[in-house]
Structure 1
Amino acid sequence: MSLISRAFAPAAAHDVAGMAVGLLQDPRRPGKRDILARVRPDAGGTPPRLPNGPTGLGTSAVRIPVPARPTPPTVPTIPAASAPLPPLPRLPSGPTGLGTSANRPLRTPSEPSKPSAAQDGPVIYCPPAVRDDPALGAEVNERLVEWAEECGIYPGQLDRVRSCDFGRLIMLAHPDSDDPDVLLAAAKCALSEWSVDDHYVDGEVEEARHDLLGQRLAIAHSVIDQAHLPLRYAPELEEVVRKDPVAVALRSGLDNLGKYATTTQVRRLRHELAIMFVAYGQEAVWHTTGQTPPVWEFLMHRHENSFVPCIVLTDVVGGYELPADEFADVRVRRALTMAGTASVIVNDLYSMGKEDPTDLSLPRVIAAEENCSLEEAVERSVLVHDELMHTYETEAAALAATGSPQLGRFLAGVWNWVGGSREWHASSARYHQN
């Protein structure tokens, strides 16, 4: 199921639904607010080093090839014409930006988690959101809905889109900026990406034709990586594209992003969308054949179909650029995709509060493969999520210790994105409707 269909599926009343709601609304946020505290120049102590292998549950057979005596990578030179990046920012202790005067921070750095007697189950390992600015989120959300109407996606469902409050999600996930135009650019890209699922795969907006999915994705991809046909045939493709609101939204979102992002940053997003389209094709096979994939395959799918396309805009929203060689580094890629998978597992847990047994999610495939109850499968899914988060936390700190200032900012921004997304899942209209 897509993000929107998960939000509006009928509410469930079984015990697993209550467990899922409890997990997401649990006020505890055990993750560090500032993931790079140990690697800042004024923090003292020895910076962390990248482990020879991943850490956490079930990692004994996995290793990263890291030299015994790692040599710090060459820090890319910032062109003289560019202003140097500021030092890694300290995370604010409270909300910033438009309309924050009446707000309070979700949790102060020194505030301990206080589990209650009713909170004795698993806890999602995730940091708190850095800021909550409802007015800023509302402005982005309203402008996003207006744009969706202009593009033609979600016809007749704009009130549902509005109530999902994706503007709030982007505001929470990208605390590096309080500029509504920049946040709106990220929101447009996100909603256009999700509309592919809702229109083509999930059937939330129109009938899903899984037998035609490959064809539809290929045509949509022609605007992500612009197809250049001979003059005789180009108008025919353009006519098809202009009649498809999904293609219109994808083109509009990417064109608008170009106002704030470099060509390299836009190209990154185009690449991530191509990976996501491959995963949609895999999902269509499951639909048409009635397969329930094994856990390993589902997790591979989540590696490809996650929130990574949203997260890669972290530096765009922050107003800087992560050097291309660092973005492409296999260790950075590993950390980034682990965070993306962890964030989409939260969305899988979110779905367990809805009554839809046909929705494939990590708990459901674990329950099917391991022949356990859904309650047990939810607990095991939390362990998988937490392993990914702990590994990201360890490896991101080690990478930041030897990388450029931009890399440190980016890795801290990814951590903030995951925390903001988790906060949105806990407080969206999803648990306040039906």
Structure 2
Amino acid sequence: MSVLTRVSAPPATHALAGVVAALLSNPERAAPRNLPVPVGDQPPEDGNQRIASVAGRLVTGPTGLGTSAARIPSWSTAAGETITPAGRGVGPRMPDGPTGLGTSAVRIPVARSASADDGGSGLELYCPPAVRDDVALGEEVNDQLVTWAEQVGIYPGQLDRVRAANFGRLMMLTHPATDDPDRLLAASKCVLAEWATDDHFLDEESLGADAQLIGSRLGISFAAVDPVDLPVSYAPQLDQALSEEPVAVAYRSAFECLAHYASPTQVARLRHELAVMFMAYNHEANWRATGRTPPVWEYLTHRHENSFLPPMVLVDPIAGYELPSFEFADRRVRRVFCLAGSASVILNDLYSMAKESDTDFDLPKVIAAEEKCTPQEAIERSVQIHNELMHTFVAEATVLSHLGSVALRRFLADIWAWLGGNREWHSTTKRYHGNS
């Protein structure tokens, strides 16, 4: 289920909806506003960053005679260049045990008493707060986005849903490095085209969704994302097919707009993430067609592929810089980028529990089905998985910030800010919490 479909669903009335809403709106933020990163060439000053510095030397590959070719070269930072994220930085907390995926069970739990803030559950999401909240800027972008949606033909007769979802506010919150409404609108167009794909092809029968046709429709529409050059006699037929598909029209328009701010390399990165997302839509369509509930490992694999990486990959072009290709493609950078994407979409899964839906797949539901546990226990386990991903992101991103270029530091800080803005949007949009 797409983000727009989820936010448009009626609020749930079961008791867990209150737990999730409280979890989302808890004003206490477990994570710092700014990702802990070193400044310039100064050595790390606190204990955690000294540990990260040592870890950075360990993860580059084998050592010893004859191993230099197998090591990944460390990245140098240009002298005098600094990245200082907006706001006051907060140092990382001392770890309570080993970090990394799969180690949550052996970490010492941090005691926290249940309170009214989280509905008495004792749950706490590890996620930063938003860097900025410029309501007027968000409204400006949202107004222009609704106008664009009408022009390209997505969500016909449902533009009130698009306006109420307030995706302009989402982009304002998740891209605090720019206050240019045109740049934010470029990101908004891409995001809305992505979520329209889900709704028009998979979720919303009123928009023409048909599980039997999703494969062919995705294949044809991707020709708008990655233009296809057919022999001259066949090209008009493809052009007609694309012009008759609102989602394809939206992608063409969105990519034309993005090209004003993104380099060809950055556009290609978005194409890659969309190709993976299209594959994941077919994956989910199989579950629906067969009525099969996937095991947790398969669902998490799917969420790695169907996550918020397409919106997140735009943080550098929207902010006006470019992460060098050798850093973006490095396996360590890719790993932390994907950890952030998975964590952000699990957060969306959690918040969907506050909406009524009998057909949607989300992490708490598949955990409950596999482990035969209560919905409350499934939510708690989902929060643990989210937090494990986020703690691992912080630990490894801090190391990479020390090893990498100024652009990489900025990229990782912008991803962290994106995560905070995403949570803030979910916690404040009335489409998740009713009109109150």
Normalising TM by the smaller chain, what interval?
A: 0.7 to 0.9
Q: What amino acid is the match of 1:296?
A: W
Would you say the 8 A contact 2:299–2:363 is kept in 1? Answer: yes
Q: Give the aligned partner of residue 92 of structure 1.
A: 87
Unaligned runs of 5+ in 2: 65-70, 92-111
Change (3 A) 1:114 1:178: farther
Q: Give the aligned partner of residue 73 of structure 1.
A: 74
Secondary structure of 2:52 counterpart: coil
Q: Give the aligned partner of residue 404 of structure 1.
A: 405
Q: Give the aligned partner of residue 17 of structure 2.
A: 17
| Aligned-residue identity in percent | 51
Would you say the 8 A contact 2:39–2:82 is kept in 1? Answer: no
Q: Separation in 1 of the partners of 2:418 and 2:311?
A: 9
Q: Give the aligned partner of residue 101 of structure 2.
A: none
Q: Give the aligned partner of residue 3 of structure 1.
A: 3
How far did residue 36 of structure 1 move?
2.7
Q: What amino acid is the match of 1:18?
A: G
Query: Are residues 1:49 and 2:52 paired?
Result: yes
Secondary structure of 2:384 counterpart: helix
Would you say the 8 A contact 1:5–1:204 is kept in 2? Answer: no
Secondary structure of 1:210 counterpart: coil
Would you say the 8 A contact 1:85–1:406 is kept in 2? Answer: no
Q: Give the aligned partner of residue 275 of structure 2.
A: 274
Superposed counterparts of 1:118-197, under 5 Å: 118-119=117-118, 120=120, 121-197=122-198
How far did residue 10 of structure 1 move?
2.0
Deviates more, 1:293-302 or 1:38-47: 38-47
Q: Separation in 2 of the partners of 1:90 and 1:328?
A: 24
Q: Separation in 1 of the partners of 2:299 and 2:147?
A: 35
Change (3 A) 1:350 1:415: same
Q: What amino acid is the match of 1:230?
A: P
Q: Give the aligned partner of residue 362 of structure 1.
A: 363
Question: What is the TM-score normalised by the length of structure 1?
Answer: 0.87
Q: Residue 431 of structure 1 is aligned with which of 417, 430, 433?
A: 433
How far did residue 432 of structure 1 move?
2.4
How far did residue 74 of structure 1 move?
4.3
Superposed counterparts of 1:306-385, under 5 Å: 306-385=307-386
Q: What amino acid is the match of 2:337?
A: L
Change (3 A) 1:115 1:145: farther
Change (3 A) 1:182 1:48: farther
CA offset digits 1:44-90 (Å, max 9, x no partner): 3454537879xxxxxxxxx988446977524599xxxxxx9963133
How far did residue 92 of structure 1 move?
3.4
Question: What is the TM-score normalised by the length of structure 2?
Answer: 0.87
Q: Give the aligned partner of residue 101 of structure 1.
A: none
Secondary structure of 2:74 counterpart: coil
CA offset digits 1:305-356 (Å, max 9, x no partner): 0000000101011111000010001110010011001000111011101121
How far did residue 25 of structure 1 move?
1.2
Q: Give the aligned partner of residue 104 of structure 2.
A: none
Q: Separation in 2 of the partners of 1:115 and 1:376?
A: 15
Would you say the 8 A contact 2:40–2:81 is kept in 1? Answer: no
